[in-house]
Chains A and B, each alone.
Chain A
Amino acid sequence: MIRRSELSQRRVEKMAGFSKGYLSQLLAQNLDLKVWHLKIILGVFGQSPVDFFQRLDPEADLPPSLRAFEQSRRPLHPEIDDSLEELYGVDPEVLVRLRRRLEQRHAPSRRREPELDLRGDPAR
């Protein structure tokens, strides 16, 4: 999001009220990312956390009927399943991504949750 914006990283840092270098430390994962960090950074771009997380969810923009199909469909036919390995196995990245999508969408109860530290706002 920062890269796509017209703002420099330093500018975002300033607008968020962070000290110099703080944002770099966060992005480099030298500091734990907290919910309050995210709220402040999203605030710089005028976005709500709900919108942000919806965009991370690969199912968020699927039309309801297609989402329902994913959740009600039968497991892949064995022949189709095998053919995925044969056809895309030479490119593990493609195969892994495809399988991940097929599994995530097929299992409604296993929705991916964002991995964040949700311990609340510490004193800044």
Chain B
Amino acid sequence: MNGSSMMGEDLLRWLADADDLRHRHPRRALLRARALRDLAASIEPPPASAPVATAAEGGDAGESRRQWNRLQASAWGVLGSAHRSVGDRARAESALAVALAFLETPTDTRPDGADPETDLGLARLAQRLSYVRCDQQRFDEALALNDDALRLFDRAGDARLAASVRVDRALFFHRSGQTRRAIPLLIHALGRLDEESQPRVFLAAVHNLGFYLSLEARDADQEREALAWLELGWQLHLEHPEEPGLLRLRAVAALMALRRGHVEEATEALASCRAGFAELGAMAEQAAVLLHLVALAFEEGRNEDVRAFAAQLAPILHHLGLPEPARAMLRRFLGADAWVEIVEEIGEERGAPEIDTLETGTLETGTGIVETAWSEVGLDDRLDVEAPSSVPSTEPDSGAEPGGPRTF
């Protein structure tokens, strides 16, 4: 085993850790993923004067080259998901496109097209991309990617990852406004998941089922059922404590308290959750909570609070690639063009899309602005938990790489 092969194995492990970290601390995960991407690129590729032909022959040189390509694809894939976890969809999409360009399709590698490792690589990438498309509210594409990920995981014989894809599917249904369709999917998935070997996917399924049932509850019995699932979720969160998960659960509890009329308690809890998400760099979740806070403040006529929350929310919306509601919020609640210019400048520095001309006629009232932001952003329900499934790791919960040790 030479130096680069050892580094390759270490890198895969570090990449798995970085991928896992984004479920706990998105901002740190991004910094680590970027450094690991650079490190992966610094490994010299094995020589291949005719890469496709050499790979097709299946010789040592071709195999080394394939593994180098897969390592690059893994590094870019983890980076893409890390960008997404801090709400940077443009960079996420681009990084994942580079990952896909590095992944060789079966015809490149094997004459018969059968290659479980390639299937797994493509499946993981499809899974990562499905979340980006979901964030962009392109749900048909997200579900198509989810279909292909499921088919490829099935073909590669990885039942655990296939089960996690089913949990993803429920989440996409919920975020596309079809929560009723998500509930039976989760109940079905829970019957197939193994709590021992997939504790975090199991946790995600339980948490989301409780959350979705709470949203759909129409009477006291249904609310009790939702609470029972949320209590089980709470126990699981305590067994596997991760700050974003606990914050999400706390926010869901706050929203349920709000429905029972405990406005002050709910507002306080939501404000605390917002601060927690901000600390972690979890932009989308922060925006979700802020939308609830600004709506609450607006309903209660607390104009100072409305302005304060809007000032926090507008730059986040812009960061998330949603300039129209950001601009509307700044104009309506803060009445300051200077703010718009500042946000535009920040956006340009970050390479974000420019703010387009706002059609103010469609946003007459404060309520309208919040509602528009809500529907365009699709963030009000970002309090469910994503199943940690695409991690290239040997940890029991995250999907082991089949095919033995990797070498270069």
Say whether B368 faces chain A, with CB atoms less than 8 Å apart. Answer: no
- Name B58's closest neighbour in chain A (CB-CB): A4
Asked if B141 contacts A63 (CB within 8 A), the reply is no
Report whether A76 and B41 are in contact in the complex, using a CB–CB cutoff of 8 Å.
Answer: no
Contact B122 A74 (CB under 8 A): no
The CA-CA distance from A109 to B70 in the complex, in Å, is: 28
B125-A74 in contact (CB<8A): no
Output the least CB separation between A115 and chain B (Å): 16
Minimum Cβ distance to chain B for residue A77 (Å)? 4
The docked-state distance in angstroms from the alpha carbon of A91 to that of B151 is 36
A103's closest neighbor in chain B, by CB? B101
**Whole-angstrom distance from the CB of B107 to the nearest CB of chain A?**
5
By the criterion CB–CB under 8 Å, are B90 and A77 in contact?
A: yes
Shortest CB-to-CB span from A37 to chain B, Å, is 20
B184 proximal to A (CB < 8 A): no
Tell me the complex Cα distance, A81–B100, Å.
14
Q: Which residues of B contact A102 (CB under 8 A)?
A: 97-98, 101
Q: SS class of chain B's interface: helix, strand, loop or mixed?
A: helix
Q: Are B56 and A63 in contact (CB under 8 A)?
A: no
Contact of B91 with A79 in the complex, beta carbons under 8 Å: yes
CA A54 to CA B98, docked complex, whole Å: 23
- Given known contacts A77-B351, A98-B101, is B126 in contact with A65 (CB within 8 Å)? yes
Pairwise interchain contact A66-B145, C-beta atoms closer than 8 A: yes
A64 to B151, CA, bound (A): 12
Query: How distant is the Cα of A78 from the Cα of B348 in the complex, in angstroms?
Result: 12
Q: A4-B56, A77-B90 are in contact. Are A69 and B145 (CB under 8 A)?
A: yes
* A68 touching B101, Cβ below 8 Å: no
Chain B min CB distance to A90 (Å): 9
Q: Does A60 contact B (CB under 8 A)?
A: yes
Bound form: Cα–Cα A98–B104 in Å: 11
Give the Cβ gap from A29 to chain B, nearest Cβ, in Å.
Answer: 16
Residues of B within 8 A of A14 (CB): none
Tell me whether A27 is interfacial, beta carbon within 8 Å: no
Is A20 part of the binding interface, using a Cβ–Cβ cutoff of 8 Å? Answer: no
Tally chain A residues at the interface, Cβ within 8 Å.
Answer: 38
- How many Å lie between the Cα of A79 and that of B100 in the bound state? 18
Judged by a CB distance under 8 angstroms, whether B147 is at the interface is yes
Residue on A with the closest CB to B102? A98
Residue of A nearest to B48 (CB): A93
Q: Is residue B45 within 8 Å, beta carbon to beta carbon, of the partner chain?
A: yes
When the two chains form their complex, are residues B351 and A98 in contact, meaning their CB atoms are under 8 A apart? no
Smallest beta-carbon distance A57→chain B, Å: 8
- List A84-124 residues whose CB lies under 8 Å from chain B: 84, 87-88, 91, 93-94, 97-98, 101-102, 105-106
Query: Across the interface, do B148 and A79 meet the contact criterion of CB distance under 8 Å?
Result: no
A73 touches B45 (CB 8 A): no
Contacts of A60 in B (CB 8 A): 105, 107
Tell yes or no: B322 within 8 A of A by CB. no
Are A65 and B148 in contact, with the CB atoms below 8 A?
Answer: yes
Smallest Cβ-Cβ distance to A88: which chain B residue: B41
Q: How far is the CB of B69 from chain A (nearest CB, A)?
A: 9
Using known A-B contacts A77-B94, A84-B98, determine if residue A72 contacts B151 with beta carbons closer than 8 Å. Answer: no
Report the bound CA distance from A87 to B45 in whole Å.
12
| Inter-chain contact B151/A54, CB cutoff 8 Å | no
B144 at the interface (CB under 8 A from A): yes
Q: Is B129 an interface residue (CB 8 A)?
A: yes
Is the Cβ of A66 less than 8 Å from the Cβ of B94? no
In the assembled complex, the CB of B91 is this many whole angstroms from the nearest CB of chain A, namely 5
In the bound complex, residues from chain B placing their C-beta under 8 Å from that of A94 are 45
Q: Which residues of the other chain, A, contact B102 by a CB distance below 8 angstroms?
A: 98
Collect the chain B residues with CB atoms within 8 Å of residue A79's CB: 91, 351
- A80 close to chain B: CB less than 8 A: yes
B111 is an interface residue with CB less than 8 A from chain A:
yes
- Which of B44, B98, B122, B141 sits near A72, CB closer than 8 Å? B141
Complex CA distance for A73 and B111, rounded to whole angstroms:
29
Asked if A43 is an interface residue, CB under 8 A from chain B, the answer is: no
User: A69-B129, A79-B91, A91-B45 given as contacts; is B97 within 8 A of A64 (CB)?
Assistant: no
A–B complex contacts, Cβ < 8 Å, 24 sampled: A4-B57, A4-B111, A58-B105, A58-B107, A60-B105, A62-B105, A62-B122, A63-B126, A64-B148, A65-B129, A65-B145, A65-B147, A68-B144, A69-B133, A69-B145, A74-B90, A74-B93, A80-B91, A80-B94, A87-B41, A88-B41, A98-B98, A98-B102, A105-B100
